[in-house]
């Protein structure tokens, strides 16, 4: 772990990116719930950046994986569909992350001294998908805390990291919206589902504030990307290949270099890593066979 003051001198070196990225994953969010929930922090990011409520969790080429978190977060973090990363369900059997890794790997190859951090409370992300993070914080499944409590702990740790350290790429995962969806229902008419989303929005606000408190924030060229792995209908999202409420999610891309307004072109969760890498100045090599593209940025 690097202290901020120890790393300030690295800013002039060519082996760190000029931009910085915060990627936030909020499990199980339906766009129609996001539209009516009281989420001022996310709303402000949308108003200042690019947004779509029509991001798909499955592509046209391959649709055999289940519409659940294992393949969803694998696609979200690797930039390829499940026929490449190999994860079709939550067993993670067939994983092929050596060939199609977490986007932190590509960042580190291009900029070896880039500082990365991961903060998650769905433990399989850390166990199976994560690669090359300098700081890893995970709330284990064995913990008796609810995901609401875990989300709060992670938000505090991530905010501290963003303020006091010198990161270039950070991933933060929040799980309580999905937990409440399974418990009470994935629907904007469910008060507890909206409340969970509103609670996460407060965590988003704390992360944004942490970035803005950095001494050189205005010169650091931050981009914030927010999306999810799936929506939901009823109390589930499995078997949702042809269910719009499950396969359709949202994407926020916000920062000085983001486009402004509605993202009109088709977008997919595999776009998230390519957006991040492009902003960070990592050249996308066709040999990586990534399925996503950079949308919402200039």
Task: Phi first, then psi: give them for residue 171, nearest 5 degrees.
Answer: -115, 130
Task: Phi first, then psi: give them for residue 40, nearest 5 degrees.
Answer: -60, -35
Which has the closest alpha carbon to 106: 270, 227, 298, 284?
284
**Crossing angle (nearest 10°) for helices 191-212 and 147-164:** 10
Q: Are 67 and 228 in contact (CB under 8 A)?
A: no
Q: What is the pLDDT of residue 141?
A: 84
User: Within a 10 A sphere around the Cβ of 113, how many other Cβ atoms?
Assistant: 15
pTM metric for this prediction: 0.94
Q: What is the pLDDT of residue 144?
A: 87
Task: Return per-residue pLDDT of the chain as tens, 298 residues.
Answer: 333 333 444 444 568 998 999 999 999 999 999 999 999 999 999 999 999 999 999 999 999 999 999 999 999 999 999 999 999 999 999 999 999 999 999 999 999 999 999 999 999 999 999 988 999 999 988 888 999 999 999 999 999 999 999 999 999 999 999 999 999 999 999 999 999 999 999 999 999 999 999 999 999 999 999 999 999 999 999 999 999 999 999 999 999 999 999 999 999 999 999 999 999 999 999 999 999 999 999 9
Q: Are 128 and 86 in contact (CB under 8 A)?
A: no
Provide the token pair at 3. Answer: 């202290």
- Work out whether strand 261-262 and strand 20-26 pair parallel, antiparallel, or are unpaired: unpaired
C-alpha span between 115 and 135 (Å, rounded): 8
Q: What is the pLDDT of residue 14?
A: 62
Beta strand ranges found along the chain (DSSP E) = 20-26, 50-56, 116-120, 135-138, 169-174, 222-227, 248-255, 261-262, 267-268
Taken in order 285, 286, 288, 292, the sign of the CA dihedral is positive
Q: What is the pLDDT of residue 142?
A: 87
Q: Are 113 and 107 in contact (CB under 8 A)?
A: no
Q: What is the pLDDT of residue 9?
A: 41
CATH superfamily for 20-288 is: Alkaline Phosphatase, subunit A (3.40.720.10)
Hey, is 105 helix, strand or coil?
helix
Which has the closest alpha carbon to 271: 24, 31, 28, 75?
75
Q: What is the pLDDT of residue 94?
A: 98
Separation of first and last alpha carbons in the chain = 32
């Amino acid at each position: 772990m690097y202290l901020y003051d120890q790393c300030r001198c690295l800013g002039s070196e060519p082996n760190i990116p000029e931009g910085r990225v915060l990627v936030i994953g909020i499990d199980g969010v339906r766009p129609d719930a996001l539209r009516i929930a009281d989420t001022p922090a996310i709303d402000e990011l949308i108003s200042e950046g690019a947004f779509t409520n029509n991001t798909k969790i499955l592509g046209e080429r391959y649709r055999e994986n289940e519409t659940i978190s294992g393949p969803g977060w694998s696609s979200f973090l690797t930039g390829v569909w499940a026929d490449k990363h190999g994860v079709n369900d939550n067993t993670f059997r067939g994983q092929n992350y050596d060939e199609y890794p977490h986007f932190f790997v590509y960042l580190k190859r291009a900029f070896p001294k880039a500082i990365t951090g991961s903060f998650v409370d769905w433990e399989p992300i850390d166990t199976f998908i994560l690669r090359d993070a300098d700081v890893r914080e995970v709330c284990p499944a064995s913990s008796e805390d609810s995901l609401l409590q875990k989300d709060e702990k992670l938000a505090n740790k991530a905010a501290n990291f963003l303020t006091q350290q010198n990161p270039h790429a950070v991933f933060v995962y929040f799980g309580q919206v999905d937990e409440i969806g399974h418990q009470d229902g994935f629907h904007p008419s469910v008060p507890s589902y909206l409340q969970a989303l509103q609670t996460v929005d407060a965590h988003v606000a704390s992360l944004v504030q942490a970035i803005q408190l950095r001494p050189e924030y205005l010169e650091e060229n931050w981009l914030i990307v927010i999306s999810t792995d799936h929506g939901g209908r009823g109390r589930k999202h499995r078997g949702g290949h042809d269910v719009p409420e499950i396969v359709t999610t949202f994407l926020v891309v916000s920062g000085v270099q983001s486009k402004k307004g509605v993202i009109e072109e088709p977008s997919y969760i595999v776009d998230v890593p390519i957006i991040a890498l492009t902003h960070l100045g990592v050249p996308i090599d066709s040999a990586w066979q990534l399925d996503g593209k950079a949308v919402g940025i200039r």
